[in-house]
Structure 1
Amino acid sequence: MSHPKTSPCCATLIGDLVGSRTAPDRHALHREVTAALQGASDLVPPATPLAITAGDEFQGTYDALGDALHTALWLRVHLLPSRIDMRFGLGWGPVTMLDSARNTQDGPAWWSARDAIESAQANEERPGLRAVRTVYRRAVAGGPAPEPINAALVCRDHLLGLLDERSLRILAGLMDGTTRAELAQREGISASAVSQRAVRDGLEVILTACEALRSVR
């Protein structure tokens, strides 16, 4: 009889859709989210695949917390222009593999991610934190400290909540390496208008925070 195997510490990511039960076409919603999960996985390969587990929830693991944080932002930024929003709980700690054939996992990292996403959901009842969709918890000492990371996430999510659809599309393009000239042509505006939005709407601030958070190991 095989026994569950506990792996070294890793980052766990749980995401779910906000308000998806009221979507007019849930099949189309599922297709768009599935495509986004594949795009995120192509950009930042997870340790275990991002997969929809039940209903509107999906999960995956990463060797580095920064990769999980970047994935969460990439998904939100690329889906928000379609009016699809997500909340995320991230955890850090050991993971126990219960069934390798079915990739069934358990362990402190998952418990901390579950606690984090429940905290993210609770933010919706707090007017001042309603825009905060991403929360990180640490299950064991020695991993990335949650206090500075959550401070950055609060500010990042607040800025995202202030963006209109055009600024979100521009931010998504900048994250993907699209030039400002190409974004201007795509949006039907001038390159200077793209630059003005990047400054006025804090897109440069979000990108700078994004790079700093992505370096977290």
Structure 2
Amino acid sequence: MFTLIGDLVGSRKIPDRAGAQRTIGEVLERVNHVIDMAQMLEPTVGDEIQGGFFSIADATLATLLIRLELAPDIEMRFGLGCGDVTVHDGDRSPLLQDGPGWWTARDAIDRLKGKRGTLYAGPASADLPDPDLVNAFLLARDGLVATLNDRQLRMLLLALQGKTQKEIAEVEEITESAVSQAFARGVRAAHDAQVTFGKAG
């Protein structure tokens, strides 16, 4: 299973932490409904979230959807891993579990301490995605997304949800030409990069 651990950035500086936690829970529910999950995304302890996926493509898509849904007020960093997972108590929420899948995701999130973005910690194996290649994609994707303004981030989210440029223009109450210009300035590249990675992964 491909695993994800998300960590709230600057949690101690958020004025309304309870409100932020509610927002995160609502976002996770929405993402759970658009991706075929191996294990549902859920909040855990210590301002963290976790979830499991059938592919690295779905895991990376989830990190982007969560990031876009939370922007601009709440930010998370994400550690991705892969391996076997043992659930010790399936009735508990969050699940009581461990195993290499979670150890690698924890390693990734620990290596991101003090930094933003997304990191995949592997493991390296001929049967699994190459961590260096996955991280090259994630560095480029996250760097590009960081250059987008709030409206462009909303457009990217809508595009990933399958909206056409015409439909995005209607939602944003702007012209199709303005949407086209925004797509040319990074929205299309970020969208196409994620979609292309999804097809390859």
Q: TM-score, normalised by structure 2?
A: 0.92
CA displacement at 1:98 relative to structure 2: 2.6
The answer to whether structure 1 residue 43 and structure 2 residue 34 are counterparts is: yes
CA displacement at 1:121 relative to structure 2: 2.4
SS in 2 for 1:215: helix
Partner of 1:185: 170
8 Å Cα contact 1:77/1:168 also seen in 2:
yes
Partner of 1:85: 75
TM-align CA RMSD: 1.6
1:196-211 equivalences in 2 (<5 Å):
196-200=181-185, 202-211=186-195
Larger radius of gyration: 1
CA displacement at 1:185 relative to structure 2: 2.6
Q: 1:12 to 1:88 in 2, by over 3 A?
A: same
- Count how many residue pairs are aligned between Structure 1 and Structure 2: 198
Q: 1:104 to 1:216 in 2, by over 3 A?
A: farther
The residue identity in structure 1 corresponding to 2:77 is R
1:112 to 104, 129, 132: 104
SS in 1 for 2:112: helix
**Cα distance in 1 between the residues matched to 2:28 and 2:200:** 22
The residue identity in structure 1 corresponding to 2:132 is E
Q: TM-score, normalised by structure 1?
A: 0.85
1:86-101 equivalences in 2 (<5 Å):
86-101=76-91
Structure 1: give runs of 5+ residues left out of the alignment.
1-9, 125-131
SS in 2 for 1:111: helix
**Cα distance in 2 between the residues matched to 1:99 and 1:166:** 42
Q: 1:204 to 1:173 in 2, by over 3 A?
A: same
1:136 to 113, 120, 131: 120
